[in-house]
Chain A
């Protein structure tokens, strides 16, 4: 009778004061399918799923479970209907074991006491059933990101969820790990689980999904059978226009080396974080740094930008050793930095767009009369950035926190790139933002390259690195395990092996 297992009808969600996150959003799933929700960031995918999972409340709209009208007020309600969610940012207790995390809140009891053995058995049982082998005694903090995600999935399974929502599950995984995840998802599907994946990676939709619901600016454009659509069709619907997926590497001749790193070493409490790094970036060159997260990328960026200065070795910008300079002085010597965490390090969510945009200009004498800011000039500057980078907002007084991730990232990169730096360090500049914003950003990076600037791109999106970089450095446990002169000659599989430390580049070893 009821074709749909779950139906969301005419959902509307408004964030105070008047940011419309969802408007007439409709969504339905059938038992045993893998269903993708695709759309740019800020399209409302996550919000819609949070409403389904009871973390947010809709202002309007109805929910039906097997044809019956239901209300979900909290995640606890959602559990009653066997809905579980794996969040983009894991919610695990870092210094507890895998088994402890999995049974948290649903602890098995024996004679009124916590039954640790049963918890371990449960972890093993569920893990074996779906090919997710985990050591129940391992501490979460010792696990890789991929394994943490598995813990999250088992956590959801342990709560008897039949509908599993995954928010951007592959954003942080290596190609191998992604493959593994897909294998497990298919196993779950065979066992009549229903899976919803929030994603904007089109190839993945093609690979494992049965149906896809496409969202754009808070509305659902419709649900389609994946077989009947090509990747181009989906992207056209998502963005609303065709976009060029061709690589845009610059063919310009490279100039002088701008950034030179020599014998860079970094220790933290006796643990090596960066091991003897040597590389340089020339004018007009974009060097990509890839690796599984937590293998020294963050530390490298922090050292280059002056946030950490407890390193050994030398770093030169245009021949000037930056050791001992503070952040402001390093920036003055020509370095700009797009930080990894735009919500914390990149922008001030508690303030207005204007305040986040002028953070660098406000320090410069030509934007000041003595102690006073040249507010008019700064205002014009901000408005120019908003236009140049197509930042979607009413005006520059709007609070940063009311914007989507893509638009926040545009503010951050606009601010940094407009400094016209000699060298730009961009740490995960396009993670989790929509295709429109990615394209704007890629164009700007290319423009910088054409203007003979040096760029260091730290990215976990291999596709992005293939598109933009020629020279690529692979980091594993703080060490350069491969330095590739032309990435087009190296397969994704091979890169994955370097990233996981299975292989090292032979012969022409870096450094």
Chain B
């Protein structure tokens, strides 16, 4: 037992852990969430004919059955992938939004591999996932390389690239790999061997959850333990410093973007192989953009991303139920998300200095009270 305690202590020391900091971050996040919910409730109250019913489904609904609870996790899985992908890119202080297109490409390529390639059954899923990730990464390399070599703003070029891949994809599924039997713009049915199986019986949660968690942990290790991870972080924190120390900053910039996009591509593949019979996306799924929101809520810490993703997953699961069972549209969630992001990203809202002063005052009061007690005694 004591050995475990020592180990935990050592890990905390390595992370430069401080209770005060944890308390601060927690309070700030909780405050942001509470304020956002209050605003949402007010809106629901005015919009809805039976506000209490709407709020019930929104808040308690996701916990009403195992199936609904599983829905939270199912919705969180692609958000985890997207969050981790965005986290890697932001560590290098880049803003490559091709993570969005990567979800689309990853899904499409995975479906194509699953349908048309003859792969031994035990490798089927793996090959489809990695194939989806690789093709995304290759396309995503274009804006990142343009940024590193020619200083083309990756923000603009990656957004444009999203639409390029989307329309190529739509053309493919409506002309080349279309299955007329589907009566839709969609591929053939994805064979069962290539699908990712359900992990928690009684829900729709697949092994995709494990893949997402493993990638999250690998990314954490990448930044803590490897020299590429270290150099990417240094480049993102202070590019001049990194350059003067001899770090090849341009390489690290492309590397971070490509890696992030690879993860997003795998995320898209996982999503398709978990939840779809055919690939039939006719618009961008939105996960790539969500990823940047998730990583902001998680303060760009890889290990916090699953929690942030679960929270947004819960919001969306609740919103779905509310829309189904009452008269409030699910878009209310966007308001909550927006307010939370605003408050968490705001330096001034519940600032660290304010918190520090608050803690100091509390400590002084406690001290004064103690002294009073001792005098009275």
- State the A residues within 8 Å of B (CB): 14, 16-17, 59, 305, 307, 326-328, 330-331, 337, 339, 344-352, 355-356, 358-360, 362-363, 368, 371-373, 375, 395, 397-398
Least distance between A121 CB and chain B CB atoms (Å)? 42
Instruction: Determine the interface band of chain B, counting residues with CB < 8 A from chain A.
Output: 20 to 34
Interface contact B237-A350, CB-CB below 8 Å: yes
Interface contact A328-B248, CB-CB below 8 Å: yes
Interface contact B227-A17, CB-CB below 8 Å: no
Interface presence of B6 (CB below 8 A): no
Q: B interface, by DSSP: helix, strand, loop or mixed? A: helix
Interface contact A345-B234, CB-CB below 8 Å: no
Interface contact A345-B230, CB-CB below 8 Å: no
CA distance A452 to B230 in the complex (A): 33
Q: List 13 A-B contacts (CB under 8 A).
A: A16-B356, A17-B20, A307-B244, A326-B246, A339-B244, A344-B241, A348-B234, A348-B241, A349-B238, A350-B237, A356-B241, A363-B227, A373-B230
Question: A17-B21, A355-B233, A360-B246 are contacts. A345–B241 as well, Cβ < 8 Å?
Answer: yes
Interface presence of B301 (CB below 8 A): no
Nearest chain A residue, comparing its CB with the CB of B93: A350
CA distance A355 to B238 in the complex (A): 12
Pick from B13, B14, B243, B245 the residue with the most CB of A within 10 Å.
B245
Question: A305-B244, A359-B245, A363-B246 are contacts. A372–B233 as well, Cβ < 8 Å?
Answer: no
CA distance A350 to B233 in the complex (A): 10
- State the B residues within 8 Å of A (CB): 13-14, 16, 18, 20-21, 225-228, 230-231, 233-234, 237-238, 240-248, 352-353, 356-357, 360
Residues from chain B with a CB closer than 8 A to the CB of A395 are 16
Least distance between A156 CB and chain B CB atoms (Å)? 29
CA distance A347 to B238 in the complex (A): 8
CA distance A339 to B242 in the complex (A): 12
Question: A17-B356, A345-B241, A348-B234 are contacts. A328–B246 as well, Cβ < 8 Å?
Answer: yes
Interface contact B238-A344, CB-CB below 8 Å: yes
CA distance A397 to B224 in the complex (A): 13
Interface contact B245-A355, CB-CB below 8 Å: no
Question: A355-B233, A359-B242 are contacts. A372–B226 as well, Cβ < 8 Å?
Answer: yes
CA distance A487 to B241 in the complex (A): 34
Residues from chain A with a CB closer than 8 A to the CB of B353 are 16
Interface contact B237-A373, CB-CB below 8 Å: no
Least distance between B35 CB and chain A CB atoms (Å)? 23
Interface contact B241-A372, CB-CB below 8 Å: no
Nearest chain B residue, comparing its CB with the CB of A354: B16
Nearest chain A residue, comparing its CB with the CB of B355: A16
Least distance between A390 CB and chain B CB atoms (Å)? 21
Residues from chain B with a CB closer than 8 A to the CB of A328 are 246-248
Residues from chain B with a CB closer than 8 A to the CB of A345 are 240-241, 244
Interface contact B225-A375, CB-CB below 8 Å: yes
Least distance between A481 CB and chain B CB atoms (Å)? 29
Interface contact A371-B234, CB-CB below 8 Å: no
Interface contact A371-B227, CB-CB below 8 Å: yes
Nearest chain A residue, comparing its CB with the CB of B15: A397
